[in-house]
Chain A
Amino acid sequence: MVGLPTRGGDWRLLGRTLRLVLAIPGYALFGAVVAALALSLFVFSQNLALVSFALQAPLAPGDRIDILLGLYPFLGTSFEPATGALLVVVALLVGADIALVAYHLREHDLRAAESGGSVVGVVLGVLGAGCAACGSAVLVGVLSLVGAGGLVTALPLEGLEFTLLAVLVLVLSMYWLAEGMRGGEVRGCPVDPP
């Protein structure tokens, strides 16, 4: 049975585990690459035709890069600041989470309950990217498949709920991973907080 991080000690365990794993340069780099890929997935999934155009059309290299970079929050899009910041946070959490999964895979046995949250977090991140109310989120396409595309306009935060849910799921996923590593060591340091 999986638990929830309800005590201060649980959060300290999560923080310490993250710090220890991400202090290893290889895992930090891996996490950063995964975070960049996750953010790319979130923003590119909103505009596949444009991404395809940028990659295939006979453009100057500068224009090609401008189009692709221009789809990222703060570099170009007209995302609301809160939406853009949340997307970046989710991408960073995905990176940290997958780095933990990778470490756990290599060093310990990994249970489905511990890794499943990562996948759910990425999926929710994709669903929550963009403004669901205006249809610029993958979520709308998914719901449209079952004839419920209009449902998202009933959400008070216009679909940002899914991004927030992604944050929650990813934090829980990382906590479960840290919990699975309790009693162990990372590079000779005990995972359990002193």
Chain B
Amino acid sequence: MDRRTFLATTAAGLGGGLAGCTGSGEDGTTAPGTTSPPGGGGLPDHAAVDGIQTQPYLGPPPGEAPGTIVAFEDPSCPTCAAFDFRVVPEITSNLVEPGRATFVLRGYPVIYPWGEPASHALEAVYEADAAAVWDLLAHYFDVQREYEGTDPAGVYDMTETFLAEETDLDATAVVDRARAGGVEDAVRTDLDAGKAAGAGRTTPHLFLFSDGEYLTKAAGSISYRVIESTLGV
């Protein structure tokens, strides 16, 4: 099973959770097939979780699981791709699916220039269909080399082609919204949160929370074992 299939399957399997991560709180139930341990972890006052209720996530809604992983990622970052390929599947199967932790994705385009329009596209897709954001992210990581050096117009064109071919979304409408700057505030919210939290220019940058407390941050090539041992959930 490749990464995209894995994430898409996971996102579909956690459909309830993803559908409820629009910040509306209308569907904040735990995803089917998962169990949320009693007594959620809660989240402290920390810059990394500012605006977290409007972010894509896997697992129980943010604050309801004992552990929370807030990952600032740039679609153009090779280390994020490696993290997504090697570590996120383990996080999903060992922490997210059993309801031990929530994995929250925050766009943080600070590496290559094409990461910025890609992050806009991710936000626009998230607005339209929360589950599809994982498909698009996996796509960016899968074919990073093809996007290298591409100008924003090219990034949007390639993204539109992918969305039209691989998702049920109205690709043109979604990408037009990103092109027009319709999700600028959402992108800015993530960037501001990452900078305020101290993510600097490093991705992926993980902020780890357990039982309502901020534990530490971890950046770069981080393994699953490090995350699990740090969370202690």
Question: A150 CA to B223 CA in the complex, in Å?
Answer: 26
**Contact in complex: B222, A63 (CB < 8 Å):** no
* Chain A residues whose C-beta falls within 8 Å of the C-beta of B86 in the assembled complex: 78
With a cutoff of 8 Å between Cβ atoms, the chain B residues found around residue A172 in the complex are: none
- Contact of A135 (CB < 8 Å), options: B83, B85, B203, B230: B203
B202 touches A135 (CB 8 A): yes
Is the beta-carbon distance between A53 and B225 smaller than 8 angstroms? no
Residues of chain B within 8 A of A133, CB atoms compared? 77-79, 111-112
Contact with A along B9-42 (1 / 0, CB 8 A): 0000000000000000000000000000000000
Q: What are 29 of the A-B contact pairs (CB < 8 Å)?
A: A49-B216, A49-B218, A57-B216, A60-B232, A62-B229, A64-B229, A67-B230, A70-B223, A70-B225, A71-B226, A76-B223, A76-B226, A78-B82, A78-B85, A78-B86, A131-B77, A131-B78, A133-B77, A134-B78, A134-B80, A135-B111, A135-B203, A136-B202, A136-B203, A136-B220, A136-B221, A140-B201, A140-B202, A141-B200
Which residues of A26-62 are within 8 A (CB) of B?
A: 46-47, 49-50, 52-54, 57, 59-60, 62
Residues of A within 8 A of B (CB): 46-47, 49-50, 52-54, 57, 59-60, 62-64, 66-67, 70-71, 76-80, 130-131, 133-136, 140-141, 144, 149-150, 153, 158
Chain B hits for A60, CB < 8 A: 232
Most chain B CB within 10 A, of A52, A67, A134, is at A134
The 4 closest A-B pairs by CB, nearest first: A136-B220, A76-B223, A135-B202, A53-B216
Chain B interface size band reads: 20 to 34
Docked-complex contact B201 and A78, CB < 8 angstroms: no
Q: Contacts A133-B111, A133-B112: A78 and B223 contacting too (C-beta < 8 A)?
A: yes
Tell me the smallest distance from the CB of A88 to a CB of chain B, in Å: 14
**Contacts A53-B230, A63-B232, A67-B229: A47 and B219 contacting too (C-beta < 8 A)?**
yes
Assess whether B190 is interfacial by the CB under 8 Å rule.
no
Which residue on B lies nearest to A69, using beta carbons? B225
Q: Are A130 and B220 in contact (CB under 8 A)?
A: yes
CA distance A72 to B40 in the complex (A): 32
